[in-house]
């Protein structure tokens, strides 16, 4: 994919506001700043898998959404290109998960971001690393 | 986590039947056999992200669900431990995504699975590799 | 990085012949064909880590070299962009490791390859997935 | 693999001293402290691949060695279980690469570590995330 110039959201908040999938699943934006985003998600009955715990795909969804916002907080538009998630603890029904995404590196058209997913008591549920790729530059 | 003995689903179909999150999001089981599973998901309006395409977390959810079923088709119970996804093409509203998961290796308490996510015309949307870990052996 | 046109090796064999690092470490090319490569490496005293087993970095080196050849067997030139390795068994001094790399997907400027590292008896030592990126097209 | 009790190196320095593979390839230990390690490697003629740049496997070897030391700086012994590397820039002959590994999370028998590989001027060459697994507890 080449890089095009297009009008786009001016901020992480605007970017978040148009993320239908993340908001539909009940994710909440706590804060956003250049290169970082902080989301939460409470594990509902509908997020449970066959082991009776939160579906790993839902934990990824939370981490990936924080990553997507963090890499679109500044000018230009990025998509996720590759992500790795490590699950450290099961998340249970009713627990609130907190995802904090932070930029780790930027180089050319690529960026690398870390996301940590924790419980409110600090217990780490999952660690995530995502690579973004520039798809559009902001038109003036 | 240690390995416990417990009663559990006799088959991939039973395992799937209790995956609330995957079914809630509209994923469909096409087929399942030892070490493999085949699911589909049609991209709805509710799965769209801020770029106007299918949220990467939803594509992961599909791949991860296929992986989870594939690694629980036989006796014993496994959870995902680590997953990597590579996005190759955007998926659009209304498209049906097909995920096929296959066992690649088993060794001790770990297994490695590949999942390919394609469109109906064979276009690859994403490639996924997941590592599973044994958490429970089937009680007789 | 953009894509340039340049003269380049006509085949995987020529590509391999100029891989100083891989040959210096004692890797051997068994066979190469479009989209695939087969290498071996015998674990020497110099490849041992602090646990007394083969250094994970050496196992990666073998897998990565097979990946690099497999993605340069055809026209155009690719570099590795992102790789994930899962270690399943320790490799010991004197053992011969066999790496077989195979193309899994090609899409635009990216490719995804799988590499399995085994012992001669078929025991899997590691599984690897690599993403390549086009950097040069072959000049006519 | 189970967890055994055994005598072992008292420190990251001792652990490093017995890493034949890393030292054989010319890696140098700059510093080590609980949960972190700092190594360097100068790209020699013998580390060059078929593209005329530093072999990705050698960059991984550096990152992986820093990770291995960082996760063995304290009591108990860990092996790498899974690693992901993202390459951001090519490293050239004669350049000195600096790898800094830091613990990101510990949970049960697993740990997650980040490693950044940079040039001396701060240019990031690669980002790495590794998961470790406990294999031995220190005998008293």
From the CA of D97, how many Å to the nearest CA of chain C? 16
Quick check: D21 and C61 CB within 8 A? no
Quick check: D56 and C83 CB within 8 A? yes
pLDDT at A139 over 80: no
Tell me the pLDDT tens digit for each residue of D23-54.
889 999 999 999 999 999 999 999 999 899 99
Chain B, nearest residue to A61 by Cα: B57
What phi and psi values does residue A88 have, to the nearest 5 degrees? -105, -30
pLDDT of D139 reads 65
Chain C, nearest residue to A82 by Cα: C82
Partners of residue A129 in chain D, C-beta under 8 Å: 84, 86, 114, 127, 129
Tell me the pLDDT tens digit for each residue of B44-73.
999 999 899 999 999 999 999 999 999 998
CA-to-CA dists, residue D112 to A35, A81, A90, D79, D105, angstroms: 22, 21, 16, 12, 5
Mean pLDDT value across chain D: 91
Tell me the pLDDT tens digit for each residue of C75-111.
788 999 999 999 999 999 999 999 999 999 999 999 9
Chain D, nearest residue to B131 by Cα: D82
SS3 readout for chain D: CCCEEECCCCCHHHHHHCCHHHHHCCCEEEEEECCEEEEEEECCHHHECCCCCECHHHHHHHHHHHHHHHCCCCCCEEEEEEEEEEECCCCCCCCEEEEEEEEEEEECCEEEEEEEEEECCCCEEEEEEEEEEEEEEECC
Q: Is residue C69 helix, strand or coil?
A: helix
CA-to-CA dists, residue D64 to C18, C80, D57, D99, D106, angstroms: 25, 17, 10, 9, 18
pLDDT-based confidence at B75, cuts 50/70/90? confident
pLDDT-based confidence at D76, cuts 50/70/90? confident
Quick check: A86 and D82 CB within 8 A? yes
Quick check: D1 and B108 CB within 8 A? yes
Quick check: A108 and C82 CB within 8 A? no
pLDDT of A1 reads 45
Q: Is residue C91 helix, strand or coil?
A: coil
pLDDT of B1 reads 45
The tokens describing C52, both together, are: 């007394």
Average the pLDDT over each of B15-29, C31-45, C86-100, D6-20 and give the range with the smallest value.
D6-20
Tell me the pLDDT tens digit for each residue of C15-35.
888 899 998 899 999 999 999
Partners of residue B84 in chain D, C-beta under 8 Å: 84
* DSSP letter assigned to residue C54: B
Higher-pLDDT residue of B51, C115? C115
Kindly state the average pLDDT of the residues A31-51.
95
Mutation choice for D interface testing from A91, A112, A115, A118 by most D CBs within 10 A: A112
Mutation choice for A interface testing from D109, D129, D132 by most A CBs within 10 A: D129
Partners of residue D88 in chain A, C-beta under 8 Å: 105, 107-108, 110, 112
Q: Which domains are assigned to chain A?
A: 4-138 (3.10.129.10)
For chain D, the chains sharing at least 3 beta-carbon pairs closer than 8 angstroms are: A, B, C
């Amino acid at each position: 994919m080449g890089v095009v110039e297009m009008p786009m959201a001016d901020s992480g908040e605007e970017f978040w506001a148009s993320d239908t999938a993340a908001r539909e699943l009940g994710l909440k934006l706590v804060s956003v700043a250049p290169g970082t985003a902080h989301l939460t998600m409470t594990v509902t009955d509908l997020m449970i898998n066959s082991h009776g715990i939160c579906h790993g795909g839902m934990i990824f969804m939370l981490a990936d959404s924080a990553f997507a916002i963090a890499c679109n907080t500044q000018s230009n538009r990025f998509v996720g290109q590759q992500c790795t998630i490590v699950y450290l603890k099961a998340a249970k029904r009713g627990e609130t998960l907190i995802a904090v995404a932070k930029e780790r590196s930027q180089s050319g058209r690529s960026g690398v971001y870390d996301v940590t997913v924790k419980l409110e008591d600090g217990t780490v549920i999952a660690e995530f690393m995502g690579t973004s790729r520039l798809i559009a530059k902001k038109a003036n």
